Amino acid sequence: MNPRKLLRERLAARRTVWGAGCYDALSAKLIESAGFEAVLTSGFGISAAFLGKPDVELYTMTENLAVVRQVVNTVDIPVIADCDTGYGNAVNVMRTVREFEQAGVAAVILEDQVVPKRCPAIANRVEVIPAVEGVAKIRAAVEARRDPDLLIIARTDTDTEAGAIERARAYVAAGADMVQPISKTMKDEAMLLRFARAAGRPVSLQVLGWLERELSPAQIAEIAGIAFFPLTALMTVAQAMITNLRALRETRSTRNLPLPLMDHNAFAALLDFPAIQDVQNRLLPEAPDFARLLSQTGVPAEKVAG
């Protein structure tokens, strides 16, 4: 089934879609292999992996899109794209939505911070645009999409419960399919439940901070239509590489690394090398079956060789 329709159907069935955040095609593949139902292209992760910089919108829309396109081409599960602020005003948002839709994502997340943004997971404060401008961006996103199954997720970074509810309602009225608060604004489960009820739309939650520490999966599922662990993959890889690379530098040997390495053959299988090897064996000139294949075409072998 088309990933967009699949995501729509799961949300319509009122069952929480669980996912994790990726930062490149390989991490997306590993998330899919782990059995998650969807993958989020994390702006935080992409900025870290692509630029080695914090998530302050240093990368461009096209740089983000290049990573997202590879993720979509790599996995079969729905891909939800972090599109930051839409990279400008409502006009810019229209182009952003069309480009990411053409790349094949199932949903886009647009936030109401000023441009350039600051990641609330690490910044001590963020600034939001006026509500009327945020509404215009969501209206632009809805107008720009060509496939009605593409989900528009409106994120608000306002720092008060009342402000978040007011904006969520306004964004829903503008056509948003889902709304997303930031964890710093929501202080407890009761506040999240009030937000969800007031919005009247499924809630997208990025499970960070106190949500990770204090809420059970059942509590999250009661609130969220989509629940993501956006940074777990990135932080796992970063810590594992620090641990093993420091040991490797000290010992200059891979025999006693603190963490085990993935088996080479298993890694090749993860990357679908057996399927590629099968194509090579069937279609490349040095393959055993190539002469038989060529004879079926009627093309002289010397003409191919030349």
Chain centre to alpha carbon of residue 14: 21
The per-residue pLDDT for range 194-252, each reduced to its tens digit, is 999 999 999 999 999 999 999 999 999 999 999 999 999 999 999 999 999 999 999 99
Q: What are phi and psi of 159, to 5 degrees?
A: -105, 10
Task: Indicate the DSSP class of residue 49.
Answer: I
The single-letter DSSP state of residue 104 is: T
Residue 59 vs residues 46, 54, 119, 124, 188: alpha-carbon distances, Å:
9, 10, 13, 21, 33
pLDDT of residue 282: 82
Per DSSP, the three-state class of 178 is strand
Domain ranges of the chain: 3-230, 262-306
pLDDT at 294 over 70: no
Q: Rounded CA gap, 80 and 108, in Å?
A: 6
Give me the pLDDT at residue 211, please.
Answer: 94
List pLDDT tens digits, range 59-117. Answer: 999 999 999 999 999 999 999 999 999 999 999 999 999 999 999 999 999 999 998 88
Nearest of 150, 151, 145, 83 to residue 113 by alpha carbon: 83
Q: Active-site positions? A: 119
Omega into 3 within 30° of 0, i.e. cis?
Answer: no
What band does 303 get if pLDDT is binned at 50, 70 and 90? low
The answer to pTM > 0.85 is yes
Low-confidence winner among 117-121, 278-282, 294-298 (lowest mean pLDDT): 294-298
| CATH number listed for the domain at residues 3-230 | 3.20.20.60
pLDDT at 85: 95
Q: What is the pLDDT of residue 279?
A: 86
pLDDT at site 301: 52
What are 111's strand-pairing partners? 155
Helix axes 273-283, 290-297, angle to 10 degrees: 50
pLDDT at 292: 65
How far is it, in rounded angstroms, from Cα 82 to Cα 111? 9
pLDDT of 17 over the 60 cut:
yes
